[in-house]
Amino acid sequence: MQIIIEYESSWRNSFLDGEDNTVKRNFIGSMTALGDKKAENYKSRNITKNTVMGILNRLIGDQRKLYDARSRDDYYFKSIEDTLQDSDIHDEYVLSQEVVYLRNISGSTDQNSFTGMIKLSDPWLSVNYAKEFWSVLWMNLDELIQFIQHTNTESEVPPILDPLSILQRLEEVKKIKVSTTDEITKIAEILSSRYPNFALKESANKVGVLPLYCSALYLKLDRLSEMYDTSIIRASRGGLTGISHNGFTPKNLMERFTTGQQKIVWGNPYINSKFIKGEGEIKQLLHKASGKLTINLNISKEQARDLEEKIEDAGVSSFYLGKKGLAYVTDIR
């Protein structure tokens, strides 16, 4: 028996991790998941035996997941699937690339944005030791080193108790890189001995100072706890909302100061960019295929007539081939 299917604009990429569709899989089609260092997340897909078995089940009106249909005792294609070989599947197609805007139905949030109005009444800004606490963030590097080594160092620059100013200052600190010196190594050892999660990453004999400032905020909080009740500005687990020992997350930080929820990201263009030596930047977009799929089934005439009857009774006029697109049966021989 031969089933001929023509199709247009069949998507040939996968946006979920893993291979087994019997378990929960994560969306990996976001912009952050398609960076140059995560090239493996750009997954190309071709028609396989599993694709064909899914099509055959769809044609007879069975809309269950393939793994679910296969697990049933009354699975119609059990004997047919055992005889189907890769050589029985012929896929003739032409490929094109297209920019497609993907929407993650799980509702990812924007890492750098927030919604609602900004409020200044949060305890982070209103407690009587707020200026003393946030002054750490406005220290220069020499002052910070002295502060970590000694308890009585203060910043010469007064802090600005405003959420956007705090966020802006963190962004400024994030860009600062300095040479690795004995002093930097010494204070890094002090912080790592106190906070196991602290990590200072070195590259080309330079380090970013953001982990030093973030951990210094925790150090200041611990020292203030000896004089004040700091539970009011601590998160439920004892930390600082949106600020870890090594960095910060703007959306979590600003959530504390805003009247709205975190900003939902509803989609992004599916583009994978990577640099290849000698060629420069290469952009890979969503692949779409159009062509003809021929399925040869090594079955008896009786089985073929029964299958053809089930296909006609189901009356499936068009369907997806793999993912999206438009596919339809043009001939059954």
Q: Which helix (H) or strand (E) holds 292?
A: strand 286-296
Number of Cβ within 10 Å of residue 36's Cβ equals 10
pLDDT at residue 157, as a whole number: 85
Whether the pLDDT of residue 204 is over 90: the answer is no
pLDDT at residue 74, as a whole number: 87
The residue with greater pLDDT, 327 or 236, is 327
Whether the pLDDT of residue 119 is over 90: the answer is no
Tokens, residue 41: 């997340």
pLDDT tens digits along 50-67: 999 999 999 999 988 888
pLDDT tens digits along 137-154: 999 999 999 999 887 777
Q: Give the separation between CA 307 and CA 1, rounded to whole angstroms.
A: 9
pLDDT at residue 268, as a whole number: 83
The dihedrals phi and psi of 73, each to the nearest 5 degrees, come to -65, -25
Give the residue-averaged pLDDT of 242-260.
Answer: 90
Question: Quick one: pLDDT band at residue 275, thresholds 50, 70, 90?
Answer: confident
What's the chain's average pLDDT?
88
pLDDT tens digits along 2-61: 999 999 999 999 888 876 655 677 888 887 778 666 778 888 889 999 999 999 999 999
Number of Cβ within 10 Å of residue 107's Cβ equals 10
Tokens, residue 273: 């960019």
The dihedrals phi and psi of 91, each to the nearest 5 degrees, come to -120, 110
> Residue with structure tokens 């601590």?
234
pLDDT at residue 106, as a whole number: 67
Query: Among 3-17, 153-167, 206-220, 286-300, which stretch is predicted with the lowest mean pLDDT?
Result: 153-167
pLDDT at residue 36, as a whole number: 60
Query: Among 6-10, 226-230, 293-297, which stretch is predicted with the lowest mean pLDDT?
Result: 226-230
CB 178 within 8 Å of CB 141: yes
Using only the alpha carbons of the chain, give its radius of gyration.
29
pLDDT at residue 107, as a whole number: 67
Q: Give the separation between CA 24 and CA 10, rounded to whole angstroms.
A: 24
pLDDT at residue 22, as a whole number: 58
Query: Among 6-10, 207-211, 320-324, which stretch is predicted with the lowest mean pLDDT?
Result: 320-324
Query: Among 176-185, 270-279, 301-310, which stretch is predicted with the lowest mean pLDDT?
Result: 270-279
Q: What is the secondary structure of 159-206 as a DSSP string?
A: P---HHHHHHHHHHHHT-EEE--HHHHHHHHHHHHH-TT----EETTE
pLDDT at residue 261, as a whole number: 83
Number of Cβ within 10 Å of residue 188's Cβ equals 20
Q: Give the separation between CA 86 and CA 120, rounded to whole angstroms.
A: 65
